Amino acid sequence: MTGLLFLGVAMLSPTVIGPMAAILGWPIERLSRITGRVARENTVRNPSRTAVTAAALMIGLALVSFVTIFAAELRQTSGDAINREIVGSITIYNDNSHLIPEGVVTAAARDPGVQAASAVKVTAGNIAGIGTVQVNGIQPKTLLQVYRFPWKEGSGASVTSMGPYDAVVEETLATDHKLHLGSRLRVTTTSGAIRIFTVWGIYEAVQYLADLTIRYDTVRKDWALKQDAAVLISAVPGQNLTVLKARLVKAVQTPYPTATVHSEAHLKAQQTQGVNQELDLIYILLAMSLIVSLFGIINTLVLSVYERTREIGMLRAIGTTRSQIRWMVRWESVITAVIGAVLGLILGVILGVILAVLVILGLSSQGIEYAFPIGQLLIWVRVAVVLGIVAAAWPARRAARLDVLQAVAYE
């Protein structure tokens, strides 16, 4: 489907070169007058050639803009998940994805600026007939002060009244395996014990406490897990969070060096950094396609200058300066590049809309949210302008250095 979309736009693009050149060339004509007008007219002399030249840039920027939209969706999803799920202001965990000592929650709770501190254990378990799932151990008395469950069936009482072998499960797990309130789950722990849990509540898809959530002390006993994954902290109303974080760093990180204190802003930044690192390689690969399109524009401009040698000589003979010739070629290159960029962005947005439909129809249940980063997309238009100016550097210099007499006599 994507291939057909690209093919269709490529076939139709010669018919829109004229109108697009008129629209995109208008501000250039206002800025540079005659050189901008000549550049625009040169662009539409051979619409097919201009369309082919812009096609490589169009495809590259279509993919880049699509990835930009997708990256924005991942960032927004991650940030919104923190806002939606984590009520607390500060989170303590190990930056290297390892566990932290159980004493961290006690040390943090001693601070007078801490309203509630709740530790979470994260491990794995095997549910008969389902397979391996994430298992979260929570402290029912304090968790709801630092974490928010989006309930599908159940309420906060499903947590506060949770018994040793009661459980609340994520909606995705419940839907996929037809679980309901009262369902019994036969779970094998990592220590080899087998325990039966009763479904006490069902919550919507979340990013952090996924799959199966049970009591903290049950995980400690039956999984033999003596360390925590994280400690979530809510501050006393009116407490200065910067001051509180500084105190917690001293109180926690000195006795427990593996535990690091993070603010909500830092947590969001870390999540965003993870998304950026995953997408950096994709951007590098796509940047190579933009470089290829740069050479395409250079080749077209060189051929165009060669074909218009006598015309350029006539322009020089009637008083056109070398600088005006150079800018004429540059503006022609910029118009061609921006045409490719606009077509590419339109394609990228169409692909983004298709992704949005998928989000609405299915991926929203996985927590993915739609986003449209208009500011970032416009940056790629500026990149296209820069590429156009860079591509025109040598052809413009060559055109400006033509000998007037030889150029006029050229056939």
Residue of higher predicted confidence among 396 and 182: 182
Helix (H) / strand (E) containing 45: none
End position of a domain, from candidates 200, 228, 257: 257
Residue 92 has pLDDT above 80, yes or no: yes
Computed over its alpha carbons, how large is the radius of gyration of the chain?
Answer: 31
Does residue 302 sit within a domain?
yes
Q: Check residue 70 and give its pLDDT.
A: 76
Q: Check residue 271 and give its pLDDT.
A: 64
DSSP reduced 3-state for 131: strand
| Least confident window among 151-160, 201-210, 342-351 | 342-351
> Domain tally for the chain?
2
Does residue 88 sit within a domain?
no
Domain match, 237 and 104 both? yes
Residue of higher predicted confidence among 407 and 49: 49
End position of a domain, from candidates 227, 257, 287: 257
Does residue 110 sit within a domain?
yes
Q: Which residues constitute the domain of residue 277? A: 2-82+271-408
Helix locations, 44-91, DSSP H: 47-85
Residue with tokens 């998928």: 358
**Residue 78: pLDDT band by 50, 70, 90 thresholds?**
low
Domain match, 241 and 112 both? yes
End position of a domain, from candidates 212, 229, 257: 257
Residue 174 has pLDDT above 70, yes or no: yes
Residue 95 has pLDDT above 90, yes or no: no
For residues 272 and 288, give the distance between their C-alpha atoms in angstroms, rounded to a whole number.
Answer: 24
Residue 319 has pLDDT above 80, yes or no: yes
Domain match, 232 and 278 both? no
Domain match, 198 and 293 both? no
Reported pTM: 0.63
Domain match, 125 and 251 both? yes
Domain match, 282 and 382 both? yes
Does residue 94 sit within a domain?
no
Q: For the beta carbon of residue 302, count every other beta carbon within 10 angstroms.
A: 15
Domain match, 122 and 146 both? yes
Average pLDDT over every residue of 79-94: 78
Domain match, 63 and 103 both? no
Domain match, 130 and 193 both? yes
Does residue 87 sit within a domain?
no
Does residue 92 sit within a domain?
no
Domain match, 122 and 225 both? yes
Query: Which of the given ranges, 85-94, 154-163, 346-355, 398-407, has the highest pLDDT on average?
Result: 154-163
User: Contact 203/151 with Cβ under 8 angstroms?
Assistant: yes
Q: Check residue 318 and give its pLDDT.
A: 86
Domain match, 104 and 242 both? yes
Does residue 311 sit within a domain?
yes
Residue of higher predicted confidence among 125 and 206: 125
**Strands (DSSP E) found in 139-193:** 151-153, 166-170, 184-188
Q: Check residue 410 and give its pLDDT.
A: 67
Mean pLDDT for all residues in the chain = 84
Domain match, 339 and 375 both? yes
From the list 110, 88, 103, the residue with the least C-alpha distance to 241 is 88
Percent of the chain with pLDDT over 70: 87
Q: Check residue 100 and give its pLDDT.
A: 95
Residue 27 has pLDDT above 80, yes or no: yes
User: Contact 146/87 with Cβ under 8 angstroms?
Assistant: yes
For residues 206 and 366, give the distance between their C-alpha atoms in angstroms, rounded to a whole number.
Answer: 8
Residue 264 has pLDDT above 80, yes or no: no
Residue 247 has pLDDT above 90, yes or no: yes
Average pLDDT over every residue of 375-389: 82
